[in-house]
Structure 1
Amino acid sequence: MNDATQDFVRPGYETQPIPGFPHAPSDWSREQAEEAAQTEGLELTEAHWEVVRALQELCTQNAEPDLNARDLHDALDEHFHPEGGIKYLYQLFPKGPLAQGCLLAGVEPPGGTQDQGMGSAV
């Protein structure tokens, strides 16, 4: 159930953050991410979970509707620069860090994510 529905059904109800994933969407679970990863052919490591956390945080901080693929791509590149940036992220998510990462993080991929130059393979 999304946050808007929760507010309507249970006024004043606050969801508890998932340990280790403080910015996770209220309808997200680690088990759902693991199932999605299996479908995508990914074997999740702690590095994958770090990207999931980063995407959840970035999408929470930038919830405005004008968040686009380029902005998110650049933010991920900067966040993971010490590890190798986008090249590192493509090693973790071969079909694209935005497409696969957003799927696992339970966040809506921004407009333009289906552009091969922006982190997804179409």
Structure 2
Amino acid sequence: MPTTTIAGHAVEVNDEGFLAHPDQWSDELGGELARLIGIELTDDHWTLVHFLREDYSRQGETPTLRRVSTQTGTPVKSIFALFPGKPAKKMAYVAGLPKPKGCV
């Protein structure tokens, strides 16, 4: 897998740019990943990103948009406002996790 430098850290990424090893992630790296896709993280963003990371560590897979919404109590419409376009994919990218199953 290719290696790239993000926020001063050498990380392995897959062919779509997602981190190959979620354990290489940090808040600093997440902030830089968000910046790279045009998102400035607020407390609401961080709540969702940290939920994704915690859920991934418990479940072994990246949560779907529906799971994020139901487990955090965040309406899907709000998630789309925070991560416009493809929110599940963007949240996973910022959180340093694989794309959720079913994402294109």
**Do they superpose with TM above 0.5?**
yes
Q: Which amino acid aligns with 1:104?
A: V
TM (normalized to structure 2)? 0.70
Q: Which amino acid aligns with 2:88?
A: L
Residues 63-90 of structure 1: per-residue CA shift (max 9 Å, x gap): 1xxx57xx62221120233x4x111101
Q: Does 1:113 align with 2:103?
A: yes
Q: Which residue of 2 aligns with 1:26?
A: 23
Q: Does 1:37 align with 2:34?
A: yes
Q: Which residue of 2 aligns with 1:60?
A: 57
What's the % identity of the aligned pairs?
A: 29
Listed as ranges, the gaps of 5+ residues in structure 1 are: 1-24, 115-122
Return the structure number with greater strand share: 2
Q: Which residue of 2 aligns with 1:73?
A: 65
Question: Which structure ranks higher in relative contact order (CA pairs < 8 Å, sequence separation ≥ 6)?
Answer: 2
Aligned-residue CA RMSD in angstroms? 1.8
TM (normalized to structure 1)? 0.60
Q: Does 1:89 align with 2:79?
A: yes
Cα contact 2:53–2:95 (8 A) shared by 1:
yes
Cα contact 2:52–2:95 (8 A) shared by 1:
yes
Q: Which residue of 1 aligns with 2:91?
A: 101
**Larger Cα-atom Rg:** 1
Quote the Cα distance in structure 1 between the aligned partners of 2:27 and 2:96. Answer: 10
Cα contact 1:37–1:43 (8 A) shared by 2:
yes
